[in-house]
Amino acid sequence: MKFERYGKGIAKGLTVTIRHLLRHPVTAQYPEQRLNVSRRTRGNELIWDKEKCTGCATCAKTCPQGVIHIITSVSAEENKYVVEKFEMDTGYCISCGLCVEACPYEALFMGYAFERAKYQRGELVQADEMLLASAKRRPSGYMHPEIASELPRQTLLVERITEEK
Amino acid sequence: MMAIKTEPFVLNIGPVHPSTHGVFRMRATLDGEVIVNLEPVFGYLHRGIEKLAEERTYTGIIPLTDRLDYLASMSNNLAYVLAVEKLAGISIPERAEYLRVIIAELQRIASHLIAVGAFLNDCGAFFTPFLYMFREREKIVDLFEMLSGQRLLYNYMRIGGFTQDIPDEFLPALDKFVKQMPSFIDEYDYLLKENEILLARAKGVGILPKELAINISASGPVLRASGVKWDIRKVDPYSIYDRFEFDIPTGTAGDCYDRYRVRVEEMRQSLRIIRQAMEQLPAGPIRSEVPHLVRPPAGEAYGHIEAPKGELGFYLVSDNSIAPYRCHIRAPSLLNLTALRDMMIGWKIQDAIIIFGSIDITMGEVDR
């Protein structure tokens, strides 16, 4: 390499970094500033619709991790299954969403929330009433397009960078 | 000049070391600063995915394939799904074929951005190019999040198509990305392509000769940088790659700098493919009728794709049950890694980091 040319490439590169200094930052200050997640977010908290569930256990058979446990009994007068216990161990859940996809009665939803830290390991096992939807536990639009259309629009970085070169 | 011989000294680089890109150990025997022998040790991240696959349903394996090369989950999904479709004789709708091409090429850009960024990081451009490239990768990850609902382990492809159709806002956002991206690639080139320090450190370092690259069955950018024009998309077109026009960038010297350049050029070619696929994208269904539990006839199939890191193949043996009898994964990272010893002998210890970074491996795929 010729010594006299030395430094030209470095100076050229530094112009790029200087231009970057003057750009708007693209980072978000997370706990204070929140971006909208995807409408199809697969949050970890599985949400269960007790009314629609028939206890067929398709979700439990589909789950690759064996997270879902269902105990049912047969109701004599109505001639159908009664779900006695619907339990999932979120510690094993890999959030693949195959259970939601498999449910023939659309009784399962992925959660829209994504903060899922717990203080105790035992809290990871969730059952029955804990799995129902509430104001804090909103279902996401994964495999449920009717819910997806009501959720806020996802923030996209590609739209936040406005400058064109 | 008389060389002074010193006593051989064994140095362990890794298993936990920032430049080994995961848990990988290099047992280097040094003579002074020069590497005289090198023994790669891996297996620290072994999770037994091939064995786990034998007891899961064909659909249940798709989330496992995400965890092979976690920087290119969509490509892994595609390779596996193609193998199952070949095994079971399933054809997929036209729209899904085009979407698969778009997604696979987006994933290639995302993976190469990390590869190039990490390589430049290893060269000493401390985190500046890496973070610039992470910003661009973030846009791709945003798009994938919109499709699949997660940012790293997508689990989006299914046997026979996709889980759900793309949302309405996907194509406008993709269009914006495709328009923005070329100027950013030019910017990276302007930043470091002619940087003298980079040239001095990467040019002529870690040469992988053409014959050796073929002998060790290297693939992907590592092989192409050595001057072999071999790309599965061209030599054995899977999906609908024969309908698109693109070039295969190759290197000449087979050194670290060529491997870096080949990756940058491949990003440009990927953008070209995406642009063509977006224009031709037809309407229609995105999934063909496939039973919930796929039960392929007894037999075997090998589906392979040009993944960002090389030829990724899934070899499946079926015994007509709902789970494969055997699932073997041909991981490009592992086979490219076999060249490591030959590339490193004779180079100094500080070059070892660059040579290793230029191969671009993911430990999740090496150990499986």
Q: For B5-74, what is the HEC assignment?
A: CCCCEEEEECCECHHHCCECEEEEEEECCEEEEEEEECCCCCCCHHHHHCCCCCCCCHHHHHCCCCCCHH
Reported as a single tens digit per residue, the pLDDT across B217-274 is 888 888 888 888 888 888 888 888 888 888 888 888 888 888 888 999 999 999 999 9
Q: Does pLDDT of A1 surpass 70?
A: no
What is the distance between the alpha carbons of residues A66 and A90, in angstroms, rounded to a whole number? Answer: 11
Answer yes or no: is B272 within a domain.
Answer: yes
Q: Residue B232 is part of a domain; what is its CATH number?
A: 1.10.645.10
Task: Give the mutation candidate from A21, A68, A96 for the B interface (greatest B CB count, under 10 A).
Answer: A96
Average pLDDT of span A96-114 = 86
What is the distance between the alpha carbons of residues B277 and B240, in angstroms, rounded to a whole number? Answer: 10
Answer yes or no: is B228 within a domain.
Answer: yes
What is the distance between the alpha carbons of residues B86 and B74, in angstroms, rounded to a whole number? Answer: 18
User: Which residues in B lie closer than 8 A to residue A153 (C-beta atoms)?
Assistant: 169
Predicted confidence band at A2 (pLDDT cuts at 50, 70, 90)?
A: low
Answer yes or no: is B363 within a domain.
Answer: yes
Q: Does pLDDT of A165 surpass 50?
A: no
Q: How far is CA B164 from the centre of its chain?
A: 25
DSSP H or E run through A70: strand A68-75
B197 with A38: Cβ contact below 8 A: no
Reported as a single tens digit per residue, the pLDDT across B321-368 is 888 998 899 988 888 888 888 888 888 888 888 888 888 888 888 888
Task: Give the mutation candidate from A1, A40, A151 for the B interface (greatest B CB count, under 10 A).
Answer: A40
Number of domains observed in the structure of chain B: 1
A7 → chain B, closest CA residue: B196
Higher-scoring residue by pLDDT: A44, B148: B148
Amino acid identity, position B87: L
Torsion of CA A149, A41, A158, B279, to 10 degrees: -70
DSSP H or E run through B312: strand B310-318
What residues in chain B have their Cβ under 8 A from chain A's Cβ atoms?
A: 56-57, 59-64, 128, 132, 135, 138-139, 142-143, 145-150, 153, 155, 163-164, 167, 169, 173, 176-177, 180, 183, 187, 190-200, 292
Give the CA radius of gyration of chain B.
21
Torsion of CA A50, A55, A61, A67, to 10 degrees: 40
User: Which residues in B lie closer than 8 A to residue A15 (C-beta atoms)?
Assistant: 190
pLDDT at A163: 52
- The verdict on A53 touching B (C-beta cutoff 8 Å) is no
pLDDT at A52: 84
How much of chain A exceeds pLDDT 90, in percent? 0
Answer yes or no: is B43 within a domain.
Answer: no
Answer yes or no: is B292 within a domain.
Answer: yes
Report the candidate in B47, B68, B89 with the shortest Cα–Cα distance to residue B155.
Answer: B68
Q: Does pLDDT of A59 surpass 80?
A: yes
Reported as a single tens digit per residue, the pLDDT across B175-223 is 888 888 888 888 888 887 777 788 888 888 888 888 888 988 888 888 8
Q: Does pLDDT of B141 surpass 60?
A: yes
Place of tokens 């596996």: B80
Average pLDDT of span B141-156 = 88
Q: Does pLDDT of A11 surpass 50?
A: yes
Report the candidate in A55, A131, A147 with the shortest Cα–Cα distance to residue A93.
Answer: A131
B194: alpha, beta or left, given left = phi > 0 and alpha = psi -120 to 50?
alpha
Domains of chain A: 43-148 (3.30.70.3270)
pLDDT at B317: 92
- Domain containing B249 equals 59-367
Mean pLDDT of chain B: 87
Answer yes or no: is B169 within a domain.
Answer: yes
Other CB atoms within a 10 A radius of the CB of residue B91 amount to 10
pLDDT at B255: 87
Answer yes or no: is B54 within a domain.
Answer: no
B138 → chain A, closest CA residue: A157
Q: Does pLDDT of A51 surpass 70?
A: yes
Answer yes or no: is B75 within a domain.
Answer: yes
Higher-scoring residue by pLDDT: B164, A25: B164
Q: Cβ neighbours of residue A123 under 8 Å, at least 6 residues apart?
A: none
What is the distance between the alpha carbons of residues A110 and A94, in angstroms, rounded to a whole number? Answer: 12
